[in-house]
Amino acid sequence: MDRRSFIKLTAVTGTSAALASCGVPENQLIRFVPDEDIVPGVAVWKPGVCPLCAAGCGLTVRVMDADADVARNGQLGVVRIAAAKKLEGAPNHPVNRGGLCARGQAAIQVTYHPDRITQPLKRAGERGDGRYEAISWDDALADVVSRLDGLEEAGNQRALAFLSRGGASHRAVLIEQFLARFGAPPPAVYELFGDEVLRRANATSFGREQLPTIDLANAMFVLSFGADFLGTWNSPVAQAAAYGVMRQGRPGIRGGFVQVESRMSQTGASADEWVPARPGTEGVLALGLAHVIMAAALRPASAAGRAGALVDGWSDGLRSYTPEQVEKITGVAAARVVRLARQFAEMRPSVAVVAGPPLAHTNGLFTAVAVNALNALVGSIEQPGGVFFTPQVDLAAALKMSGRAAGAPAPPFRLQREGADDPHIGDAQVLLVDGANPVFTAPRVWGVDQALAKVPYIVSFGSFLDEMAVLADLILPDHSFLEAWREAVPESGATVAVASVAPPVMRPLYQTRSTPDVLLEVGRRLRRPLNLPWQTFDQMLAAAFAALPSASPDADAWTDAQAKGAWSGPVPPGLGRAASLPAPPAARPIAFEEPRFDGDAGQFPFHFLPYPSSAFLDGSLAHLPWLQEMPDPLTSAMWSSWVEINPAAAERLGIGQGDVLEIASAHGSIRAAAVLTPGIAPDMVAMPVGQGHRTFTRYASGRGANPVEALAPMTEPATGALAWAATRVRVSRVGPPDGRLVLFAGGMREHVEEHR
């Protein structure tokens, strides 16, 4: 016997026999009978719809067998399931055409998140302390029904409120129908980075209360005023696909691209030329370009039509917007204004885009209207390489329901109602919450949490215990998007009408229920039933899609759409949302007004810009570990909060990379690490929104800081939208780097070690 065998022998007879009993022997594994037949190891691709933003991208989901841990009848075991494995962009989807952004790919972690709420929960502790006990669906629904019956008996149906994130969808139609039939006001919609100002401007300028679809693929010159169209705004995958074509997809032709903004966004980083204008003066620059174009007789003033007529002084050639005057207001050199104007007028087709920070000022509507007029002046509306509006199916009409009057402006988000039929949340007796989290995304001074504290009964349909759900008395967890019928009606991203739809990709992992189905069931169980004409959400979808013409000769529209993951095509007559809204009667022309900022410039010397982070948007995705660990495109930061500051300003204040800063407005203060970057004006500091969750699963809770907390309650007056770029702050260094800023880059990965 050689030495090796001896060691083997002793080990086998002695040690290993003793150790084999440590841990759970695999032989006692309990297996449950699978619910479906699955060929092991073979991938099946199924259509899906991305739920993370309003873009409504189509997915193709790789589904394979996997062994899931489950509990059945109180017994723990495993069961073979057909599990989603990977999300990819659907190759033929009219919006995303095969691509998918980082966030969309991480969406699969929503379904498999370890802190998902797995069953209905009833509050067992004080509001906000996160103690809940399990409750059956039957008891939970009975509880909701009795509350609603109570309102009905008291004739107080208007005390039912619904809070959601908006966007056109069949789900939203169902919610509206539910509320209308019950006698409650329409849902209150809150979205921190909503585009209400731009929609209102487009309604005014072009008669379309809608986000634009930019035909970048055919444009020769793109002038973007703050729009992060490659990163976080509108339909980023569709826009990035078109951007790739604009740059290198046309033999011998390369489109030019200039970005106007005072903090360089991911999109601005790709521009040929980056033009920092003073915050809130971007509209003046747009009118300066229009002035030069008209003065040089490159285009007549009349070319802008209705969009131009809205601007004060347009017909006179905008005499108060000479390049010199524009330089004085915006800080952009007069010669540059002239050059940009000539480029914009001569490199046809050219298109201007506006969104994001320029519209988040008190004069945001002016800025948007000014850029719209500039587009109209050069004839870029509904022309190749210009601005289009995706035709919209009137979902309510397709279902033969009456809905919100087409084109009526969306009601602003308010905590307390003004008119009796206004949406609200603060005066509710019963509040239902679907998706929105204003506790995190609204300025602290609005007092959303105090208003919610007065609501006696809050029901959340959330899947995670975030700042909003933790205030709920009852949580009725929704299925994940892969477990339920999903649909979206993209507002933008294609030049034909699109409706994405997909059947469930996999069976529900837990005791959750699809929220639309829960609403339908509650509607049936009420003492006075709501008589919604569908038993289940997929019946409603079937009815809606049946009204559309089929895109395939072999199948009806509903069958075809399910197979492809989307319906697209021309809108049948009678089902379109109004192609053009009438011009507002005797609209007063809009003139430039100085943007108002909260905080005295002496005491609060910096503009403060909270911006949607590439990873988390408004923070609703901070619970996904892939996105936490994805390096930020401009700073390479992971798992962190940071403040971007210009190196010159930092030097003046004695601030070094990674130092802990305090950012204080008149309404609150936050702390985060400094990142020195040349891509920001010296009188501005910027912070990504997304971190700083008090509670939002193990990956996001207590991590970093939330810049929204310090925002002032400034609004754009016409829409009531939060002017989130209108707060001024002071910046002070409170300490050396504390190791919380984690960067991936910096020459070698050892960069961070050097700082420790």
Partner 1 sequence: MCAAAVAAGAACSWYEPAASSTSIAPVGPALPGQPGGVFTTARPTVGAAVDDFLNRPSEPRQPIEFPHDVHVGKNVACEFCHEGVDKGPAAGLPSVRTCMICHEAIATDRPRIQQITALRDKGLDLAWQRVYGFDNEDSVRFNHAPHIRAKVECATCHGNVAEQTVAQRSVEHTMGFCVNCHNERQAPVECVICHY
Partner 2 sequence: MPRWGMAADLDRCNGCGACVVACHAENNISTVGPEEAARGRAKHWLRVERYWEGDFPDVRVTFRPVLCQHCDNAPCEPVCPTYASHHTEEGLNAQVYNRCIGTRYCANACPYNARFFDFFNPSWDKPLHLQLNPDVSLRMVGVVEKCTFCVQRINGAQVQAKAEGRGVRDGEIQPACAQSCPSRALVFGDLDDPESQASRLSRSPRGSHLLEDTGSRPKVAYLARQA
Q: Which of 89, 283, 477, 516 binds partner 2 (CB under 8 A)?
A: 89
The yes or no reply on residue 748 touching partner 2 (CB under 8 A) is yes
Neighbours of 642 (CB within 10 A): 26
Q: Which of 698, 702, 734, 736 binds partner 2 (CB under 8 A)?
A: 698
- Nearest of 361, 376, 363 to residue 208 by alpha carbon: 376
Neighbours of 754 (CB within 10 A): 9
Neighbours of 363 (CB within 10 A): 27
Q: Pick from partner 2, partner 1, none: which does 27 bind, CB < 5 to 8 A by kind?
A: partner 1
What is the nearest approach in angstroms of partner 2 to the Cβ of residue 668? 25
What share of residues in the chain are helix, strand, coil (percent, to 5)?
Answer: 30, 20, 50
What backbone torsions phi and psi does residue 376 show, to the nearest 5 degrees?
-65, -35
What is the nearest approach in angstroms of partner 1 to the Cβ of residue 131? 6
Q: Pick from partner 1, partner 2, none: which does 641 bind, CB < 5 to 8 A by kind?
A: partner 1
Tokens of 517: 């189905």
The interface with partner 1 within residues 495-524 (CB under 8 A) comprises 510-511
The yes or no reply on residue 749 touching partner 2 (CB under 8 A) is yes
- Beta partners for 221? 256, 350
Q: Which is nearer to partner 1, 77 or 407 (CB)?
A: 77
Q: Among positive and negative, which fits the CA dihedral 308, 309, 314, 320?
A: negative
Tokens of 708: 């929204």
Q: Which is nearer to partner 1, 128 or 407 (CB)?
A: 128
E strand map for 369-507: 387-388, 430-434, 457-460, 474-475, 486-488, 497-502
The interface with partner 1 within residues 622-681 (CB under 8 A) comprises 641, 667-672
- Beta partners for 424? none
432/732 Cα distance (integer angstroms) = 41
The interface with partner 2 within residues 49-78 (CB under 8 A) comprises 64, 66, 68-69
The yes or no reply on residue 509 touching partner 2 (CB under 8 A) is yes
What is the nearest approach in angstroms of partner 1 to the Cβ of residue 371? 36
The interface with partner 1 within residues 583-612 (CB under 8 A) comprises none
What is the nearest approach in angstroms of partner 2 to the Cβ of residue 120? 20
Span of 123-131, 262-270, 309-317, 391-399 interacting with partner 2 by CB under 8 A: 262-270
Span of 85-93, 176-184, 536-544, 690-698 interacting with partner 1 by CB under 8 A: 690-698
What backbone torsions phi and psi does residue 45 show, to the nearest 5 degrees?
-105, 125
Tell me the number of residues near partner 1 by CB under 8 A: 79
The yes or no reply on residue 31 touching partner 1 (CB under 8 A) is yes
| x/- track of binding to partner 2 for residues 14-43 (CB under 8 A) | ---------------------------x--
Tokens of 739: 């190791």
Q: Which of 132, 193, 243, 314 binds partner 2 (CB under 8 A)?
A: 243
13: exposed, middle or buried (Cβ count in 10 Å: 0-12, 13-18, 19+): exposed
The yes or no reply on residue 463 touching partner 1 (CB under 8 A) is no
The yes or no reply on residue 732 touching partner 1 (CB under 8 A) is no
Distance of CA 604 to the CA centre of its chain: 30
What is the nearest approach in angstroms of partner 1 to the Cβ of residue 710? 8
The yes or no reply on residue 248 touching partner 1 (CB under 8 A) is no
The interface with partner 1 within residues 47-66 (CB under 8 A) comprises 65
Span of 288-296, 395-403, 569-577, 735-743 interacting with partner 1 by CB under 8 A: 735-743
What backbone torsions phi and psi does residue 598 show, to the nearest 5 degrees?
-90, 125
User: H or E stretch including 597?
Assistant: none
The yes or no reply on residue 11 touching partner 1 (CB under 8 A) is yes
The yes or no reply on residue 613 touching partner 1 (CB under 8 A) is no
Span of 88-96, 125-133, 324-332, 409-417 interacting with partner 1 by CB under 8 A: 125-133
The yes or no reply on residue 112 touching partner 2 (CB under 8 A) is yes
Tokens of 691: 């971190």
- Nearest of 709, 704, 710 to residue 730 by alpha carbon: 710
What is the nearest approach in angstroms of partner 2 to the Cβ of residue 56? 15
Q: Which of 32, 45, 137, 274 binds partner 2 (CB under 8 A)?
A: 274
Q: Pick from partner 2, partner 1, none: which does 591 bind, CB < 5 to 8 A by kind?
A: none
Q: Is the distance from CB of 420 to CB of 414 less than 8 angstroms?
A: no
Distance of CA 346 to the CA centre of its chain: 35
- Collect all residues with Cβ–Cβ distance below 8 Å to 409 and sequence separation of at least 6: 200, 203, 209, 719
Tokens of 93: 């989807």
Neighbours of 203 (CB within 10 A): 19
What is the nearest approach in angstroms of partner 2 to the Cβ of residue 576? 29
What is the nearest approach in angstroms of partner 2 to the Cβ of residue 678? 5
Q: Among positive and negative, which fits the CA dihedral 596, 598, 602, 604?
A: negative
- Nearest of 108, 99, 45, 93 to residue 500 by alpha carbon: 93
3-state DSSP call for residue 729?
Answer: strand
The interface with partner 1 within residues 100-119 (CB under 8 A) comprises 114-119
Span of 203-211, 372-380, 592-600, 746-754 interacting with partner 2 by CB under 8 A: 746-754
The yes or no reply on residue 544 touching partner 2 (CB under 8 A) is no
What is the nearest approach in angstroms of partner 2 to the Cβ of residue 697? 10
Q: Which of 240, 376, 501, 685 binds partner 2 (CB under 8 A)?
A: 240
DSSP state of 674: E
